[in-house]
Amino acid sequence: MKKLLIVCIVGLGIMLSACASSNPAVGAVEGYVNAIVANDADKLSALSCAEWESDALIELDSLQAVTSTLEGFACQEMGTDGQMTLVNCAGKMILSYNGENQELDLSTRTYQVVEQGGDWLVCGVR
């Protein structure tokens, strides 16, 4: 039984590491969106460039009264525009307020990501 538990834990770790994005720009966007859903202002700030941080926090503030979850969430790099890496995501953010759900289609946004000081940061949306 103990060996089975260890095998399951190791297998789960391998599966989770395989799911983690190897693209740092995509990983930054995934972390950014997950920080919004988790209502984590500190993480959101850490994943935003200085020029975008106040906009990111305004977006987070606008969602304070709702409970957010993600459905079918996955992101991929779409190309570049100058020094910006462009990342699109599929899926929906489900916003629940007072028992009613509203869906936010994540595919309508293109995230602009930059590398600054070795960190990949969200620096706007289109």
8 A C-beta contact, residue 122 and residue 28: yes
Domain 23-125 sits in CATH 3.10.450.50: yes
Q: Give burial (CB, 10 Å; 0-12/13-18/19+) of 81.
A: exposed
Q: What is the pTM of this model?
A: 0.82
Q: How far is CA 13 from CA 6, 8, 22, 31, 73, in A?
A: 11, 9, 16, 19, 20
8 A C-beta contact, residue 40 and residue 59: no
Domain coordinates in residue numbering, the chain:
23-125
pLDDT tens sequence across 55-89? 999 999 999 999 999 999 999 999 999 999 999 99
| DSSP letter assigned to residue 48 | B
Distance CA 26, CA 98 (A): 33
pLDDT tens sequence across 83-124? 999 999 999 999 999 999 999 999 999 999 999 999 999 999
